[in-house]
Amino acid sequence: MRIDERIAAHHDSLTPQERRAAATLLEHLDDLATYRAAELADLAGVSRATMSRLFRSLGFEDFDEVREHLRGLRGTGEPRRVDGAPDVETLAAAEHASIVRALEHPRLPEVAGLLALAQRVLVVGWRNSYPVALHLRGQLAQARDDVRIAPVPGQTTGEELVGLGADDVIVVVAFRRRPAHLGAFLDAARATGASVVLIGDPSAVAHASRASVWVECPLQHTLAFDSYAAPMALVSLLADGVLATHRRRGPARVRAITETYERLGEVE
């Protein structure tokens, strides 16, 4: 149980002082782990002993165990400050390491080849993964024909699979926190006969066996919210690989798109 759920479950059995301490925990839940136990006790106006008793009443040995609990929640993608904001150099180094890991994945050339040679490409993503999927679709559409995105806002994904076959590729972007029906969708995608590329953070490895190609891409989560710098860099590398494969048609398509932009006055 999450710490807020534990507080709710044990609330009636807490002493008045422990309830006061619990209220302070709930007020500072978003940045709880950035405090020390003594600071939380001072904020609540209770003794350190009372705060320690509250932790034990909630099933935690001490505040260090509360921190580990919060790190576990952060590891599932839940926005939560755990260790405070890092300095810029530390954050930049972590971002750089994530991007390098993503771009060094050994199967990226294979994926780029599949995307370049497929008859049709369907890119799928939900929740936080949708912007990555949409960006991938937009970049691929510059380099090749017939690239679709799903789900279209307000629509479902089932109809997008009908008609796909062995000459097609389905790219599923599945970073945490993923929809519960992801497994069923991957099974249905494989059943079409199309090649299925699954791109996700390490927590998606449980679904890897359902895909033709599994591409692990780390998320950087030093801050409260996940950074998608590495996935976006991966998208750029894949699109570049597709454009390089289409040495003649790709540049001609880019020029045609640019001319259309100019005629319509859509971009500066």
Is residue 122 domain-shared with residue 249, that is, in the same domain? Answer: yes
* Cβ neighbours of residue 79 closer than 8 Å, sequence gap 6 or more: 30, 224, 225
pTM comes to 0.69
The answer on 256 and 135 residing in a single domain is: yes
Q: What is the CATH number of the domain that holds 8?
A: 1.10.10.10
In a domain, 83, yes or no: no
* One domain, residues 102 and 190: yes
Tell me the C-alpha distance between 167 and 183, whole Å: 22
73 exposed, middle or buried (CB, 10 Å; 0-12, 13-18, 19+)? middle
Number of domains within the chain: 2
What one-letter code names the amino acid at 196? V
Residue 84 included in any domain: no
| 64 and 101 housed in the same domain | no
Domain final position from 17, 52, 75: 75
Q: Note down pLDDT in tens along the chain; length 268 residues.
A: 778 778 888 888 889 999 889 888 877 776 777 788 898 899 889 999 998 999 898 899 888 888 888 777 766 665 555 555 667 787 788 788 888 888 989 999 999 999 999 999 999 999 999 999 999 999 999 888 899 999 998 888 888 999 999 999 999 999 988 899 999 999 999 999 999 999 998 778 889 999 999 998 988 766 667 788 999 999 999 999 998 887 777 677 777 777 787 788 877 7
| Domain encompassing residue 70 | 3-75
Tokens of 175: 């970073």
**Nearest 5°: phi and psi at 186?**
-60, -40
Tokens 């991938």 -> residue: 136
The string over 182-195, giving b where at least 16 C-beta atoms fall within 10 Å of a residue's C-beta and e elsewhere, is beebbebbeebebb
Whole-number Å distance between alpha carbons of 219 and 200 = 9
Asked if residue 18 belongs to a domain, the reply is yes
